[in-house]
Amino acid sequence: MMTLILNLKLSVKLIKQSYIEVGLVLSLKKNALLSVYNKEGLIPFAEGLSRNDYRIISSGGTAALLEENEIPVMRTKDVTDFPEILGGRVKTLHPKIHGGILFELGKHEKDIEEHALPRIDLVCVDLYPFKKVVDGEHELRDAVEKIDIGGVALLRAAAKNHERVTVVSSIGQYERILDELRNEGEVSEDLRKELAVLAFEKTAGYDAVIYDYFQKRFMGDKFPTSYHLMGDKVQTLRYGENPNQDAALYRTEWTSESSVMKARKLHGKSLSYNNILDLDAALDMVKDFSEPTVAAVKHTNPSGIASSDDLTEAYKMAYECDPISIFGGIVAANRRIPMEMAEEMNEIFLEAVIAPGYEDEAVEILKNRKNIRIMDLDKWDPEPQGFVYLKVAEGLLVQDRNSKRLDMDDVEVVSEREPTEDELKAMEFSWKAVKHVKSNAIVFARPDHTVGIGAGQMSRVDSVRIAHMKARSPTEGCAMASDAFFPFRDAIDAAAEAGISTVIQPGGSIRDEEVIEAVNEHDMSMVFTGYRVFKH
């Protein structure tokens, strides 16, 4: 019995010694730990590492693929003396792996020797595609199983110890690393620092997506106590609102809604900061109309909006509302742009045009203008989704999109005279339009087009006067929409001078009775919507 015990102790000692020897061998060589979900480009990368004297450590499907392609690989279980467990949930979460990544030369030699830590010089991880899974049809279990634990820990550990370790967090980094190894024999300090930043970017974004998913699913808070806004850089812009301001464009949401972010440029210069703002505003306008509609925009305000069964006619009416301001502006349509409309637009200088498609001849005509940006939307989904963000100093304002739409059956007639059918149609059109005008906002309109627009004034009566002044066609019989209530009757009196016959407004002023009295004196009709449409 004593002999058996002694033999068992000797066997354990020999096994322990063999793993110490494995660790010592690994500590003397360059080692690369590879653990990737997306295996595209993995084989050439691993071959390149092997040619540059890296021993490869791996596990699971990554190791199996390397072995199939006859690339020498050491399994993590042979490094750790611990098998993969829990169906693969735990593979690399082990002190030898993380110790091998995190140790510092000249500081941790005692631990390296005592625990036979492998020297891991490169860590390559591609995380489980959590976002891809939750963006499609899935069960909660699918989402849970695609939360990467070990991969995130490996990336963070390697990025933390970037002074010694190269961290690889995306397929697009493979070739740069191999180039440096071929040309310099090692990965430079500058590249290691850059890759560390990109790894932290990857894990931060990954965690933000997981937090957002579970917060919405389990808590349901529209505005949670902690707000994480992540974005992917689309491009660096030439400059911001002015040439002295640097700027860039980021994509922060992925929905089905038609947006500037999804538009494909068919022709023209790169989009500027101001172009993007104006295109976004113009698209918002035409999305509110189910009829074929065109909006002309300057500095995020409409210079004209019109609807017609014939899109070219809609453009002509939008143009006629303010043929001066449209110069150098943006045009948006919610239908495919025909050749005839392109010919009309080609008569003036426009910065950009955006629509869900163009006739081939229309594109060729518009290309005659060298610098116009022709933006094409492959699909049309007008439903607003997501939030509106506005940055202020040291803060972020977040609000719902203004998706409320008016039902004319819900308005309250407050005047003595009932509005006519034609007036009701003009009211409805003007209310859709005024929602997109900066406050204080006033719109004069017919049933299918704007006639005069007063935007962004400090007093509402001045907006009425400007709408009248800018009108290029008679305003008699037009509807007038106001984005908020009238604080005094003076705006009604000014509207009467312009020949306005009907008014649509939210109501709610302490002087509503005074305003209603003015409307009755001028034999106008007026309705209250019960809600305002400020655009600040």
Check 160, 262, 265, 367 and give the catalytic one.
160
Question: Known catalytic residue: 432?
Answer: no
Pairing of the two strands 525-528 and 479-482 = unpaired
pLDDT tens-digit map of 309-368? 999 999 999 999 999 999 999 999 999 999 999 999 999 999 999 999 999 999 999 999
Average pLDDT over residues 282-298: 97
Average pLDDT over residues 405-426: 97
**Distance in angstroms (rounded) separating the CA atoms of residues 80 and 373:** 58
Lowest mean pLDDT among 27-31, 138-142, 393-397, 531-535: 27-31
The 10 Å Cβ neighbour count of residue 109 is: 12
Q: Which domains does the chain have, with CATH numbers?
A: 10-218 (3.40.50.1380), 232-376 (3.40.140.20), 408-528 (3.40.140.20)
Burial of 318 (0-12, 13-18, 19+ CB in 10 A): buried
Tell me the CB-side half-sphere exposure of residue 392, using CA atoms within 13 A: 4
Six-digit token string for 203: 């894990």
Given a cut of 90, is residue 87 above it in pLDDT? no
* In 334-394, beta strands by DSSP E: 350-355, 373-376, 387-392
Residue 295's pLDDT is 98
Residue 340's pLDDT is 98
Assess contact for 43 and 99: CB atoms under 8 A: no
Residue 13's pLDDT is 44
**Distance in angstroms (rounded) separating the CA atoms of residues 524 and 418:** 9
Residue 58's pLDDT is 87
Given a cut of 60, is residue 262 above it in pLDDT? yes
Burial of 291 (0-12, 13-18, 19+ CB in 10 A): middle
- In three-state secondary structure terms, 465 is helix
Assess contact for 276 and 268: CB atoms under 8 A: no
Residue 429's pLDDT is 98
CA dihedral 210, 216, 221, 226 (to 10 degrees): 10
Lowest mean pLDDT among 13-22, 226-235, 291-300: 13-22
* In 185-276, beta strands by DSSP E: 232-237, 247-251, 264-267
Average pLDDT over residues 132-153: 84
Higher pLDDT, 451 or 38: 451
pLDDT over 70 for what percent of the chain?
94
Non-local CB neighbours of 407 within 8 Å, separated by 6+ positions: none
Check 108, 262, 265, 299 and give the catalytic one.
299
Average pLDDT over residues 422-448: 97
Residue 19's pLDDT is 41
Could you tell me the pLDDT band of residue 4, with boundaries at 50, 70 and 90? very low
The 10 Å Cβ neighbour count of residue 390 is: 10
Average pLDDT over residues 283-292: 97
> Interior CA angle at 417 toward 412 and 422, to 5°?
80
Residue 8's pLDDT is 43
Burial of 119 (0-12, 13-18, 19+ CB in 10 A): buried
Question: Known catalytic residue: 202?
Answer: no
Mean per-residue pLDDT of the chain: 89
Given a cut of 60, is residue 32 above it in pLDDT? yes
Residue 348's pLDDT is 95
Tell me the CB-side half-sphere exposure of residue 473, using CA atoms within 13 A: 16
